[in-house]
A and B are shown apart, each in its own frame.
Chain A
Amino acid sequence: GAGVSQSPRYKVAKRGQDVALRCDPISGHVSLFWYQQALGQGPEFLTYFQNEAQLDKSGLPSDRFFAERPEGSVSTLKIQRTQQEDSAVYLCASSPGREQPQHFGDGTRLSIL
């Protein structure tokens, strides 16, 4: 069956530009998560949605990062005024609920020049 789909797979932007990353979760999954993975490290939590409600955004690095899931399905992670330190792989995961496995997409690799 279809897994978590993320687009674009690669994004190159100049410092100061805004970017938007899309996540299509597994159909019917209530929970959606965004993680950031730096080279050579494990993923780090950014934010979490249950349906359309953003229940935890404690991992967002700054107010330049914004996520939404307006209809409880597709989610977008937006980064405004990008900086070089934003370069990373951004991973999206979805799960049916608590104590259920999170299934990950293959991520968007963001490079800020």
Chain B
Amino acid sequence: GESVGLHLPTLSVQEGDNSIINCAYSNSASDYFIWYKQESGKGPQFIIDIRSNMDKRQGQRVTVLLNKTVKHLSLQIAATQPGDSAVYFCAETPPPGFQKLVFGTGTRLLVSP
């Protein structure tokens, strides 16, 4: 089927490595940020979120870091598995309204066994 992210930046890692995916967001007034995983033919799947009053949040095997000074988000995936292979998007909720999501460019993660 069609692929999401045909010409996206790609991060290739070995199974078991830790992965770090970076994202620059655009609006310094955004107050909420989300990371999504998208597989071909599927909608974006929620991974983890963080509010602007935090700089770090941990989930199961994932950590999100927020650096508001340079408008940078990162997603760290521990012990990456082949099932983690997908396109990853960060998204922000800018004013006005702080409701709609504005998505970043996306990064394709390829995990080799």
Contact = CB atoms under 8 A, between A and B. Distances in A.
Given A40-B4, A91-B43, A101-B46, A56 B99 contact: yes
B45 interface: yes
Contacts of B36: 104
Nearest to B44: A104
Interface in A33-49: 33, 35, 37, 39-45, 48
A35 to B, nearest CB: 8
A104 B45 contact: yes
A25 interface: no
Interface stretch (B12-20, B60-68, B69-77, B100-108): B100-108
Interface residues of B, number: 31
Among B8, B31, B43, B89, max chain A CB count under 10 A is at B43
A103 B101 CA distance: 12
B106 A56 contact: no
Nearest to B98: A98
A40 B107 CA distance: 11
B32 A99 contact: yes
A21 B89 CA distance: 24
Interface of A: 4, 31, 33, 35, 37, 39-45, 48, 55-56, 59, 91, 93, 98-99, 101-107, 109
Interface of B: 2, 4-8, 31-32, 34, 36, 41-46, 49, 51, 89, 91, 93, 97-106
